[in-house]
Amino acid sequence: MAEENPPRSVPEAGKESPAGSPPLADRNYTPPARRSPKLRRNIIILVVVAVVIIGGVFLWRYLNSYESTDDAQADVHLYPVSARVSGYVVKVNVDDNQWIEKGTVLVEIDPKDYEVAVAQAQANLANAEQTAKSLNITVPITSVNTTSQLKFAASGIEDANAGVIAAERQLNAAQSQVEAAEANDVKAQDDLHRYKLLVDKREVSQQIYDQALAAAKSSTATVASAHASESAAQQFVNQARSRLVQADANHQSAETGPQQVSSTRARVQAALADVEQKRALLEQAQLNLGYTKIVAPVNGEVNKTVVVGMNVADGQQLLTVVPLDEVWVTANFKETQLKHMQVGQRAEIHIDSSGRTLKGHVDSIAGATGPLFSLLPPENATGNYVKIVQRIPVKIVLDPGENHDRRLRPGMNVVPDVYLQ
């Protein structure tokens, strides 16, 4: 049998181990100087991990706190300036890219033709005013005259009626006289015939016969005179009746007086309307004269296409004013970026040309995607439809004073950041 290993004696405390071997307690104990690097390494790893986690959280929150796009540019409303009247250009007061203020006279058209038109319109207006004035004066005169004529015509009818009545009475009297004269003539003729028979028989004297003959001739003359008086009386009656007819016609004519007054007043109204028309023509002529000086509608820089000597037509564009103080940014964000975007959120605009960053805010979000405003909007009702993320125009306006140097020009590329919180 193999010899059993004798039990290893444990040295007592305080006793030294055999020569050349360390003590047992020293072999199981690691000094602090050897433990500290490992501990520091573990602590550093934990700190780094914690910093990375915390930094990742903050980075994630920061990246989700704003939306950005490089599909953006500066925009502005361009103001085309055109001629409102035709004519010959005599003066151009601005150069290309010159800054002008609102109301500045940019172009002048030869005003001579329009000055003549104003003078002619003034003369026509004065003539129309005098015509209306004279017609207005005739209205009361016509009214008074027609009233007087109506009264005179009424009295004329009464006089004519009275004249007819008097003439008819004279005619009746003349007719009675004719009857009496004829009766007397019949008696005288009978007496003459009897006296003729008696004188032939010499029963009466010739003197008596002569008296009877004279009486017969006288009665015959009296009858003729009575008939003449009757004829004259009949003429008087006819004349009186004619005067009555004339008086009645005059009365009917006088009764048209109110219509004549109305007609005169209508002519006055027409003359007044003509005055207003002439006044409007004068105002138009004055406006056309004023349009010969073309002024700037807003502040901005000018781009011109007009030179002295051009004959411009009505409505022809001559200049374009770019209002640099009214520049805004149109940013085409993806539809997936608009989830938390709202009007009023602040924005920062990074300008590619200068590297500057301007401040602004969201003014509005378009009501539709950009392609829908094109001439031929896309039609996706097909069998091979492919979903494409659309972009929505967002209008971003600059805060006051941000573009004070006017270096942000329409059409420049910019990168806006819209902060969602």
CATH number, residue 365: 2.40.30.170
- Whether residue 336 sits in one domain with residue 303: no
Work out how many domains the chain is built from and give that number.
3
Predicted confidence (pLDDT) per residue in 257-267, tens digit: 566 666 667 77
Residues 144, 94: one domain?
A: no
Residue 52 domain-assigned (yes or no): no
Residues 118 and 243 in one domain: yes
DSSP state of 390: -
Domain enclosing residue 94, as ranges:
80-110+293-320
Which is more confidently placed, 299 or 145?
299
Q: Do both 239 and 358 map to the same domain? A: no
CATH number of the domain within which 215 lies: 1.10.287.620
Distances (CA, A) of 228 to 183, 233, 239: 16, 8, 16
How far apart are alpha carbons 319 and 294 in whole angstroms?
Answer: 10
Residues 140 and 188 in one domain: yes
| Same domain for 299 and 279 | no
Name the least confident of 1-5, 79-83, 139-143, 308-312. Answer: 1-5
What is the per-residue pLDDT for 24? Answer: 46
- In 3D space, the residue among 224, 221, 196, 222 whose CA is nearest the CA of residue 211 turns out to be 196
d(CA 88, CA 20): 123
Average pLDDT (383-400) is: 86
Whether 340 and 359 map to the same domain: the answer is yes
DSSP category for residue 368:
S
Pair 187, 262 in one domain: yes
The answer to whether residues 271 and 312 belong to one domain is: no
pTM value is: 0.59
Residue 23 counted as domain residue: no
Do residue 204 and residue 238 come from a single domain? yes
Mean pLDDT calculated for residue range 385-393: 83
Q: Are residues 303 and 357 in the same domain?
A: no
DSSP characters for 36-62? Answer: HHHHHHHHHHHHHHHHHHHHHHHHHHH
How many angstroms separate the Cα of 152 from the Cα of each of 146, 166, 240?
10, 21, 17
- 242 with 310, same domain: the answer is no
359 strand-pairing partners: 348
pLDDT tens for each residue of 312-325:
999 999 999 999 99
